[in-house]
């Protein structure tokens, strides 16, 4: 049982390019409702999926510096693309814990001993090869097939699930993946689990892994192990780098953000 100390009552920061990371955040709030949380959506720079590594490292540093100023005990990189392209470059530069979604989940998924794992992700995540690298680190014999799905984020953001184009694109990517005969397929982008209603038309639903569940369990047990659980908090604040109204509107897909988020270091400063 954790004892209360100064450090464990500090807030935890989350970030993503936009609202997608709220899928992880929503799960986290359900499992750990007594944590004080901050969420930053980098709307000035979204989408992250088509950005260069240098750009993504720059965005991550700016956000981590912001969270340093907020005196957080940990930061959750709730974005696969940022975990893939920026985490390695920034991980040793801060004195709080940083939890990247890919590296945290790959460890757990690799321990399940599957031989053939598929990954759907953004172009930047696939280009990094980090899912393959991390899975192989813990299970050398695993075969991994990564497929980029650049159209899926806009389909979810705009709730176009029933458009002919959306259904045809999902069918195309799922059929491509099924040729690999995967035992499991990781939905390696925060938005993709929201496409399951379409994906399951073309492959069995239990083939797919939503990393958010594994990720939150991983963070919880690590906070516990390090005596960092907060037992008395529960507050939340939201921040964006642009378009607070759009953030609040789109957040509804993932989580109910009641108040307009505060705009901090807008676009001109970020770039």
Known active-site residue 149: no
* Residue 215 vs 230, nearer CB to ligand DGL: 215
49 binds ligand DGL (CB under 6 A): yes
Please enumerate in sequence order all residues whose Cβ is within 8 A of that of 144, keeping only pairs 6 or more positions apart, or say none: 117, 118, 119, 131, 132, 135, 136
104 binds ligand DGL (CB under 6 A): no
Known active-site residue 34: no
125 binds ligand DGL (CB under 6 A): yes
Contact in structure between 9 and 232 (CB atoms under 8 Å): yes
- DSSP strand E in 34-148: where? 37-41, 74-77, 97-100, 116-121, 143-148
Here the tokens at position 258 are: 């009641």
CA 164 distance to own-chain centroid:
27
122 binds ligand DGL (CB under 6 A): yes
14 binds ligand DGL (CB under 6 A): no
Alpha-carbon distance of 261 to 53, in angstroms, equals: 27
Select from 17, 85, 132, 243 the one that contacts ligand DGL (CB under 6 A).
17
Q: Is 243 left (phi over 0), alpha (psi -120 to 50) or beta?
A: left
241 binds ligand DGL (CB under 6 A): no
Please give the residues from 185 up to 224 whose contact with ligand DGL meets the rule CB under 6 A: 189-190
20 binds ligand DGL (CB under 6 A): yes
Residues forming the active site: 79, 189
* Residues in contact with ligand DGL by the rule CB under 6 A: 16-17, 20-21, 46-49, 79-81, 122, 125, 153, 189-190
């Amino acid at each position: 049982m954790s004892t209360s100390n100064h450090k464990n009552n500090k807030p935890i920061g989350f970030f993503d390019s936009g609202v997608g990371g709220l899928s992880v955040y929503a799960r986290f709030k359900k499992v750990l409702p007594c944590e004080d949380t901050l969420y930053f959506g980098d709307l000035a720079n979204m989408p992250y999926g088509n950005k260069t590594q240098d750009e993504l490292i720059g965005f991550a540093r700016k956000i981590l510096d912001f969270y340093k100023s907020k005196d957080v005990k940990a930061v959750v990189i709730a974005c696969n693309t940022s975990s893939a392209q920026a985490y390695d470059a920034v991980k040793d530069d801060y004195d709080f814990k940083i939890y990247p979604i890919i590296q945290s989940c790959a460890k757990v998924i690799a321990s399940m001993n599957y031989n053939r794992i598929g990954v759907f992700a953004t172009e930047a995540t696939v280009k990094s090869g980090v899912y393959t690298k991390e899975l192989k680190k813990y299970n050398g014999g695993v075969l991994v097939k990564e497929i980029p799905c650049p159209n899926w984020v806009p389909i979810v953001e705009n709730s176009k699930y029933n458009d002919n184009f959306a259904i045809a694109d999902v069918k195309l990517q799922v059929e491509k993946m099924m040729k690999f005969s995967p035992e499991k397929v990781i939905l390696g982008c925060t938005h993709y689990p929201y496409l399951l209603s379409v994906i399951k038309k073309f492959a069995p639903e239990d083939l797919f892994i939503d990393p958010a569940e594994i990720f939150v369990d991983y963070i919880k047990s690590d906070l516990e192990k390090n005596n960092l659980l907060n037992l008395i908090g529960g507050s939340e604040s939201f921040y964006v780098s642009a378009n607070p109204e759009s953030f609040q509107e789109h957040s509804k897909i993932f989580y109910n953000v009641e108040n307009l988020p505060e705009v901090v270091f807008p676009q001109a400063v970020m770039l």
